[in-house]
Amino acid sequence: MKCLRPAFRYLAHISFLLAASFPIFAVTTTEIRETQLCDRIEQIHQTRQLMVDGEAVSATHLIPEFYDRRDYTLAWLRESSMDELMETIEASSQEGLIPADYHLAPLQTMLEDHRNGGLTPCERADLDILLTDALLRIGYHYAFGKVDPRRLDGDWNLKRDISGRDPVEVMQAAIDSDSLAAFLHELAPTSPLYDEMKAALAEHRAIAAHGGWPQVPTGPTLKPGMQDERIAFIRQRLLITDDLLDGASPDPAFFDEELKQAVIDFQGRHTLDADGIVGKSTVAAMNVPVDDRIDQIRVNLERARWIYRDLPDEFIIADIAGFRAAIVKDRKVTWDSAVQVGKPFRKTPVFQDTMKYIVINPTWTVPPTILEKDILPKIRKDPGYLKKKNMRVIDRNGKTIDATNIDWANTTRRNFPYMIRQDPGPNNALGRIKFMFPNKHAIYLHDTPHKSGFKYTERAFSSGCIRVQKPVELAEILLNDPEKWSQEEIRKIIESKVTTTVKLEKQMPVYLLYWTVNSDDGIFYFKPDVYSRDAGVLAALNGKFEFDAPDNMPDWYKN
């Protein structure tokens, strides 16, 4: 391994001959190590890359700054810190991460040689750099996740910054801490959901280690009271995941009441209609391989690392894949409601903003995309469509235009100089209340005249906005004045049909997020990947390590 500057390699070679007669000329091991560190750091400065024992060093901005500040002295002097780092790396799989991303195998070999006294000064310096890079990698992943969500979704706007901390100082504090493992785990999410997902990951990996669960043969729909050989497979499948607690049955092929309840529990945990009947959808959910469920949990552990940083004490969350919205205060859900979200071809975006006001009896101005794809075709088909839907054509000044004078057959989105607005009323597309957090997507929460959509388990019916089942309850909570803004008073304004805008005295952060797993009171739920987003996250999570710097890095990092 040629890692010393030529002059120092020569001095290192003759130092032993000179030391006996001329001790003043001896080159110490410490000096050689410091020279090697300086040499390696200089290489990074010049090329922004470095390979150590076949492993690429990733933090090519942070590591030079770290060792520059240390005057190129070794950082890893305590065996306990090295041990704790290695234990944390080995345990990273429990977080859904990949230990090999943190140089596990080469570090194991180098540390064994180090403890056996087999490392040259040059190799000891390389070990120090590789340990530092591993620390940076795993700390970065615990704090922000391995995958940068902005690479997958251009709408992503949640904070991803270091909160004004100097990363080099954080790194040094970690190495100097009494417990490196504890320091690193403080960077990971502390949410109960994250811990429950970790527990579910361990449980499903244990199931996989014992061979997984059986595949239920396809066939006709099975109902309570029926006799069928396939029912024995269903019993075995539900026993493995504890949906069925007692497998003892005088006739395993008989669909009894106990099995019906187990099926209902399974269906509830997999966002299916919980009717106790085993049809195609239930069989398909039972036959999802355990390895796929493991990947699904890993994907959502990663999403948790993106999100559970610096959350406010109170906020609204819309869970797109779960078709629910909730208010969370002090980490507890204080209100929740079923919602309808965007159709797969009109996806509800994932982003964060701030709710600022409420509009009771809103008008609805048709967005350009909906105008082109929905409204214009309907007007061409039915000239009376606008009147039936309580809609008017208006100009830029809000003046009503006679719709009968418009050549609808040749009208397109691009040559239409007006807007179409729907007046307030029970059939308004936004219902009777909309909840505004102004954003570039023109997405918000609102009531809906399409109440029938709430009877379905999967509710991807909207054009992107989020339809709320309990809007009057939500308005009362957000307005936070039971005397002035009780549900009764809000309904009085609704009946007046007068458009009323009310600013919130306390603005509320809103998070539109996408989770395909969840946990509630220790019960673990799997949800449909309605927008097929899991695959992209999983591919990046299993892919090669890439360092995407957080926001607000110090100026020295940008140079």
Determine, yes or no, domain membership for 179: yes
Task: Check residue 163 and give its pLDDT.
Answer: 77
Task: Supply the pLDDT for residue 497.
Answer: 92
Q: How much is the pLDDT for 451?
A: 96
To the query of whether residue 141 is one of the catalytic residues in this protein, the response is no
pTM over 0.95, yes/no: no
Instruction: Give me the catalytic one of 141, 204, 270, 465.
Output: 465
Verify that 184 and 89 share a domain, yes or no.
yes
Residues 70 and 176 in one domain: yes
Q: Are residues 218 and 179 in the same domain?
A: no
Q: Return all residues near 377 (Cβ < 8 A) that are at least 6 apart.
A: none
Query: Which residue positions in the chain have pLDDT lower than 50?
Result: 1-27
**Position 140 in a domain:** yes
Look-up: residue for tokens 């009777």? Answer: 432
Do residue 173 and residue 66 come from a single domain? yes
Q: In sequence order, what DSSP letters do the residues of 182-214 get, joined into one string?
A: HHHHTTS---HHHHHHHHHHHHHHHHHHTT--P
Q: Is residue 76 in a domain?
A: yes
Write down the pLDDT at residue 402.
Answer: 93
**Does an H or E element contain 421, and which?**
strand 419-422
- Kindly report the CA angle at 63 between 61 and 64, in degrees rounded to 5? 75
| Domain-ending residue, one of 288, 308, 339 | 288
- Please check whether residues 97 and 164 belong to one and the same domain: yes
- Alpha-carbon distance of 478 to 203, in angstroms, equals 39
Claim to verify: residue 106 and residue 178 sit in the same structural domain: yes
- Give the model's pLDDT for residue 28: 65
163 and 68 co-located in one domain? yes
Kind plus residue range of the DSSP H or E element containing 257 = helix 257-269
Shared domain check, 282 and 162: no
Same domain, 72 and 170: yes
> Quick one: 75 and 130 in the same domain?
yes
18 found inside a domain = yes
Nearest Cα neighbor of 435 from 346, 553, 347, 354 is 354
Q: Quote the number of domains for the chain.
A: 3
Domain boundary among 423, 439, 474: 423
- Residues of the domain holding 154: 6-191+545-558
Considering the domain architecture, whether residues 45 and 124 belong to the same structural domain is answered as: yes
Residue 326, beta-bridge partner list: 317, 336
Which of the residues 45, 114, 446, 450 is marked catalytic? Answer: 446
State the virtual CA torsion across 480, 484, 489, 494 in degrees, nearest 10. -70
> Where does a domain end: 404, 423, 442?
423
Whole-number Å distance between alpha carbons of 40 and 59: 13
Answer yes or no: is 280 within a domain: yes
C-alpha distance from residue 466 to each of 75, 167, 175, 425, 529 (Å) = 52, 39, 46, 19, 17
In a domain, 353, yes or no: no
Element (H, E) at 524: strand 523-526
* 504 in a structural domain: no
Burial of 100 (0-12, 13-18, 19+ CB in 10 A): middle
Q: Are 38 and 7 in contact (CB under 8 A)?
A: no
Q: Are residues 240 and 183 in the same domain?
A: no
CA 164 to chain centre: 23
Catalytic residue flag (residue 446): yes
pLDDT at 226: 97
CATH number at 224 reads 1.10.101.10
The neighbouring-strand residues paired with 419 are 394
Q: Is residue 95 part of a domain?
A: yes
